[in-house]
Amino acid sequence: MASQEEPDDLDKRRRDLEAALAARRPAEPGGEGPGTGGKGDFANALRLSSEFIAGVLVGAGLGWFIDRIAGTSPWGLIIFLLLGFGAGILNVLRSAGLVAEFGSKAPKKGDTGPQGKN
Amino acid sequence: MATDPIHQFQISRLIPIEIGGLDFSFTNASAFMVATVVAAGAFLYLTTSSRGLVPGRLQSVSEMSYEFIASMLRDAAGSHGMRFFPFVFSLFMFVLVANLFGMVPYFFTVTSHIIVTFALALLVIGTVIVYGFWKHGFGFLRLFVPQGVPAVLIPLVVAIEVVSFLSRPISLSVRLFANMLAGHITLKVFAGFVTSLSALGVAGVAGAVLPLAMTVALTGLEFLVAFLQAYVFAVLTCMYLNDAIHPGH
């Protein structure tokens, strides 16, 4: 009798343990960071502004650099500032997950696909 | 000096070194970078040296940080990405420990200097570019050409994608630097209010309770930001490495 009861008991305990572990698992990777729930969202929020600013800055920098090299004074700055603005918007949308990632593979993130690109 | 919120970021030479007209001095920033590396390395080494099958508290902290980065990297870049694990883990630990060191009073915050964070970001993006070209040759450039775009728009889209790619190290470094700088300045300014208000007599002391409460709250927030910024830096590193490993499927 005892031999029949024991495996049952063991099975039950194992299942309980599995359930408890499964319930705990999604929270586990967040053990390092604080506030496991909204961490990803908060991290994303921190990203957005700097993504846009970086796009514009790089556009302006590139334009200014090209102007200096090629001597096409205002045009490089104008065009690349606009391109940088576009890149900034693209960065923001991409980090918000609204546009496909680089190379438009994105099976999991932002499957709006290339038509949402422009 | 006590109330100057910028003073904490000043760099001073500890051991002046000059080689060929260039300043290679060992500064307080270098000292804290060395301290960061030593502290992170010593912590990981010492806590895991017992190799207990059932980890103690500190050992499980080390194992958790390992698991944390490993699962993040595996999620973002696949199992191929695991060859970059040492790189991402070192970056994460460096940024995290440097941020946390900055929270100790009178310590220097290494990551509040853009040259430090920019060097880290350049390391990341340099790794992405070198590995991408080494692994895929010119196929790496497909990264900039999204599929399904009308041929007329391709030059424009490629230009925008290139600028977007180039903006990555900037945003990566500016984010970390700006958050640490702004946080520490805010903290210092509010703490300065406490001293300057309480110099005004009894009413000032009563009023100083408000900025004091704010300082306490901000300290908590800064710890949160210290963790989050290290996390964001590591997550983005993983995503960028993913582009180098799998450009344009």
* Mean pLDDT value of segment A48-77: 87
Is A66 within a domain? yes
Picking from B142, B161, B163, the nearest residue to A84 by CB comes out as: B163
d(CA B240, CA B167): 12
* Mean pLDDT value of segment B120-144: 88
Q: For residue B118, what pLDDT band results from cuts at 50, 70 and 90?
A: very high
Picking from B72, B153, B228, the nearest residue to A118 by CB comes out as: B153
| More confident: A26 or A97 | A97
Contacts of A96 in chain B (CB under 8 A): none
Is A31 within a domain? no
* Mean pLDDT value of segment B77-90: 89
* Mean pLDDT value of segment B39-53: 86
Amino acid at A2: A
pLDDT at B94: 94
Cβ–Cβ < 8 Å for B104, B156: no
Is A39 within a domain? no
Is A48 within a domain? no
Cβ–Cβ < 8 Å for A79, A45: no
Give the chain A residue whose CA is nearest to the CA of B153: A118
d(CA B201, CA B182): 30
* Angle subtended at Cα B96 by Cα B210 and Cα B49, rounded to the nearest 5 degrees: 125
Give the chain B residue whose CA is nearest to the CA of A52: B171
B67 touches chain A (CB under 8 A): yes
d(CA B240, CA B33): 25
Digit-coded pLDDT (tens) for A20-57? 877 776 554 444 444 444 566 777 777 788 888 889 99
Domain range for residue A76? 55-101
User: What are the residue ranges spanned by the domains of chain B?
Assistant: 7-245
- Buried b / exposed e across A26-50, counting CB within 10 Å, b at 16+? eeebeebbbeeeebeebbbebbbeb
